[in-house]
Amino acid sequence: MSGHISVENVRKIYQTGKDSVEAVSGASFVANDGEFVAILGPSGCGKSTLLMMCGGLESITSGKITIGGTPVTGPRASVGVMFQDSTLLPWKTVRENILFPARIQHRTLQDVGPRADELIELVGLGGFADKKPHQLSGGMRQRVAICRALVTDPDILLMDEPFSALDAMTRDEMNDALLDIWDKYRKTGLFVTHSIREAVYLADRVLVMTRRPATVVADVRIPFGRDRDQSISSTPEFTELCAYLRNMIDQERIPGRSVRRVKAA
């Protein structure tokens, strides 16, 4: 229950000087404990904003977000976050970077050390624990970022397009690594992406968002079990789901506005 996220009629208006931008307009959804939910939508539609509000990193203009039944008012230790860039601290080793949030939260090394080592092995960074970020590839840095987000054993992991800066092959690898992690540590996951394929491959449910001001227009259940692998992506079911979602996103395009098509990777 502690990983349950409920978003009720949430709005977000950014006020910059005289301008105000309505980024999210009346979004509602629920993510159950242990569920992996992908949020799909065109860029600039307000996905990051919604995710940041769930993480307590952005204020909510109106509406309500609760996690495990209590309203979100700020960042909390039970929520891990990951972003498009890994933002590793260049002077810290892989292991020190992973332990950083634990250190901030005054957790002892006896407490989190073994878990850090376990995560390092799980994502295939064994042997790199004492390397500095400049010695790692983009994919490896993002693996470090995953470990860092999980080191304090949060109930929820929020991911904002974590793999969209990576090349297609590395991205597939990272998707598989994430599936492995989900097998081992069942968390509630919110995963923002604009790749339809990635969303279907990873998630239990896919939420489709409209253009700004964004709201959730569809909630699609993905029928594959958690023990999936790349072989599902060649099934007709998978292709159909992708086509269905693509169609839905295309219909959301507002006539008369020039709109970049959402790309399926």
Q: Which residue from 14, 100, 185, 244 is in contact with ligand ADP, where contact means CB under 6 A?
A: 14
Shortest distance, position 22 Cβ to another protein, whole Å: 23
Contact by Cβ (8 Å): 207, 37: yes
Q: Which residue from 43, 59, 105, 247 is in contact with another protein, where contact means CB under 8 A?
A: 105
- Looking at residue 264, the DSSP 8-state letter turns out to be P
227 contacts: CB under 8 Å, gap ≥ 6 = 183
- Looking at residue 260, the DSSP 8-state letter turns out to be P
Looking up tokens 């901030």 gives 104
Sort residue 44 into left (φ over 0), alpha (ψ -120 to 50) or beta.
Answer: left
Q: Which residue from 6, 25, 48, 175 is in contact with Mg ion, where contact means CB under 5 A?
A: 48
- Site membership for another protein, residue 129 (CB under 8 A): no
What is the C-alpha to C-alpha distance for residues 49 and 32, in angstroms, rounded to an integer?
Answer: 20
Shortest distance, position 154 Cβ to another protein, whole Å: 10
Q: How many CB atoms lie within 10 A of CB 257?
A: 7
Tokens of 81: 């976050």
3-state helix, strand, coil in the chain (%, to 5): 35, 25, 40
Of 161 and 172, nearer to ligand ADP (C-beta) is 161
- Site membership for ligand ADP, residue 49 (CB under 6 A): yes
- Site membership for another protein, residue 87 (CB under 8 A): yes
Shortest distance, position 52 Cβ to Mg ion, whole Å: 9
Where on the chain is the footprint of another protein (CB under 8 A)? 55, 57, 74-77, 79-81, 83, 85, 87, 89-91, 100-101, 103-105, 132-135
Name the site residues for ligand ADP (rule: CB under 6 A): 14, 16, 21, 23, 41, 43-49, 212
Q: Which residues bind Mg ion (CB under 5 A)?
A: 48
